[in-house]
Amino acid sequence: MLLDNIALFLTIIEKGSLTAAGREMGLSPTTVSERLAALEAHYGVVLLNRTTRAISLTEEGRTLMEGARGLLDSVSELRPASAWAPRPSPAAFALVRRATWAAMPCHVPSPNSSVCTPPSR
């Protein structure tokens, strides 16, 4: 989550506002604000001076920005291609499980039992 928050911080700087960064990343303004606050709490510093009209980097924010770009580039090179592949949803797994289970021949020992065992060969 820390790297995600750092990426969000860089997007805020790039876009010039928390709202624009949220739109870019598909996050609500509240989530953007909370994640920025979590990043600031993690480092124990204020990273951005915020007003209702503008944001500006603090010295600590500038230091983080300078190091963060290289860090995120390095991390993205380390991740295997499969890490970026879309993951099936839990619903998709459930469908596959049901289809696999339905296709299995089984023997139910009694009408009241929920245990299904493969028939003996």
**Predicted local distance difference test score (pLDDT) of residue 93:** 56
Tell me the residue ranges of DSSP E strands in the chain: 48-50, 55-57
pLDDT tens per residue, range 73-94? 787 776 665 555 666 666 655 5
Contact between 107 and 116 under an 8 Å Cβ cutoff? The reply is yes
CATH topology (fold) of 2-84: Arc Repressor Mutant, subunit A (1.10.10)
DSSP 55: E
Q: Is the pTM of this model over 0.85?
A: no
Question: Is the per-residue pLDDT at 3 higher than 60?
Answer: yes
Residue, of 71 and 100, whose pLDDT is higher: 71
What phi and psi values does residue 77 have, to the nearest 5 degrees?
-70, -25
Every domain of the chain and the residues it spans: 2-84
